[in-house]
Each structure stands twice: as C-alpha cells, then as structure tokens.
Amino acid sequence: MVIAIDGPGGVGKSTVARRVAEALRLPYLDTGSTYRAATLAVLRAEVDPANEDAVEAVVESAAIGYETDRPYLGEEEVGSGARSPEVTAAVSAVSAHRRVRRNIVALQQRWVSDHGGEAVVEGRDIGTVVFPEAPVKVFLTARPEVRAARRAGDSEAGGRDLSHIADELAARDHADSTREASPLQQADDAVVLDTSVLSNHEVVARILALAAVAGYREGGDRSSP
C-alpha cells in the first residue's frame, strides 16, 4: 500500500511523512529530493535548465538513487548539495520537462516496487500521477505566511527575509501548478488537511486514522479494511 502525501512547499510534508512512515514501519520516499538530485546534476554539467534535450541527456546518465532518506548521484550522497539555493532556484525549470518527469516518476515507482510495494511517499504529484491508485491520499495546505515562516527556518533559506521567501514560494506554486507535465494539484479523492490550524501531531494522527481504515495499523500491523 502507498500512502500519498502531496502539497506545495512549506506545508510540513516531509516532517509528517517521516512520522507516519515511522509509526507504520514503512519505507519513506521524498520524491522532491530526486528532482533536486537531477537538478544538481544538470547544474554540475553546466547545462541550461530550460534546454529539455540537454537536461534529459544529463538526467538519463546521472544514476540518481535514493536510500535512507537521502538522494544519491552514483555513489555520492548529495543531500546538502541538493538543498542549495542554486538548486532551489532551478528545480522548477528542470522538473517541468515532460521527459524528465517521465524518467524520474519511473525511478520513484521502481523504488517503491523494490521496497515491497509499500511506502509513505511525499511530493507534488503522488496521488495524481505517480501512484493514482494509492488507497490513502492526503493533500496538505497552509496559509502563505505560515509556509514562509516555516521555510525561513530551513537551511536552504540562506538568511533571506520572509517577504522574499513568500515571493519565492508563490513563484514555485505558480510554476508547479501551471506546468504541462504533472502539475501540482489536489487529487479528487484526497483528504485536505490545513497545517496552519493543525499541529504536526494532529496531522499525523489523522493520516494514521486513514491508514487504519485502509488496513494499516501503527507498528506495521496489517488488517483487513
């Protein structure tokens, strides 16, 4: 079973997804980190992120991997490098290319299959494109000012002020929701949770309740829904 957790940046997806995965003893996949690893490879190759053919060639040869909550390029763990301001500025352009998304989505699906077909997966198109048949789909939201404040505390914020961060989040939202390939959008059957008014503990509890209905219990126990 896949638990799909989607939403824009700054809504708490990673924190919530990790806690749900830990409670259910399931593997956890941060799909955004795979796109960040791809973007890092593109920047290292000094390729224009807008050049789809060149970007696709780099991504196909990049040997992107993901294990233990960390992205890899070949044997190199690139967690911190994939969170740099340069990568953050270019990841929307790289991930907007249809062929890149097809390549990375296949990687994500293989990863889950290789981990027994069961995982907590977070991103922006999990419930709509990557795992549309997931029995548990959640879409997290939060007010813009809340998201900006949270992102300001991340290492990738680079000391930028809240207004700058809010503008960057709005620009990323627009790019992700208007791209032709796999846009950011709420799945029709997703449960929407507003993390502006719910604590992480409350959000996790609600997702675990949904998982229980689908047949999963805390501690990794399985039961018929």
pTM of this structure: 0.89
Tokens of 207: 């997702």
The fold for domain 1-12+125-218 equals Rossmann fold (3.40.50)
Distance CA 83, CA 60 (A): 21
Provide the CA 99 distance to its chain's centre, in angstroms.
18
Distance CA 147, CA 78 (A): 25
Nearby residues of 133 by Cβ (< 8 Å), 6 or more positions away: none
Which residues partner with 138 through β-bridges?
A: 5, 191
**pLDDT tens digits, 57-66:** 999 999 999 9
Q: In angstroms, what CA-CA distances link 36 with 43, 92, 123, 129?
A: 10, 9, 12, 19
Percent of the chain with pLDDT over 70: 93
In total, the chain counts a number of residues equal to 225
- Residue 198: closest CA among 128, 138, 121: 138
What's the mean per-residue pLDDT of the chain? 90
Q: Which helix (H) or strand (E) holds 206?
A: helix 200-213
Question: Which contacts of 103-110 are long-range, i.e. CB under 8 A and separated by 24 or more positions?
Answer: 103/56, 103/59, 103/60, 104/31, 104/34, 104/35, 104/38, 104/59, 104/64, 105/129, 105/130, 105/182, 107/34, 107/64, 107/66, 108/29, 108/31, 108/34
Contact 190, 6 (CB under 8 A): yes
Q: Is pLDDT of 76 > 90?
A: yes
Higher pLDDT, 85 or 129: 129
Distance CA 31, CA 64 (A): 12
Same CATH topology for 1-12+125-218 and 27-117?
yes
- Single-letter code of the amino acid located at 8: P
CATH classification number, 27-117, choose in 3.40.640.10, 3.60.15.10, 1.10.1280.10, 3.40.50.300: 3.40.50.300
Please give the pLDDT value at position 205. 97
Q: Is pLDDT of 208 > 70?
A: yes
Higher pLDDT, 119 or 179: 119
**pLDDT tens digits, 116-166:** 999 999 999 999 999 999 999 999 999 998 988 887 766 555 566 788 888
Q: Where are the domains of the chain?
A: 1-12+125-218, 27-117
Distance CA 199, CA 204 (A): 9
Question: Lowest-confidence range among 40-54, 89-103, 154-168?
Answer: 154-168
Please give the pLDDT value at position 26. 95
- Single-letter code of the amino acid located at 187: A
Percent of the chain with pLDDT over 90: 69
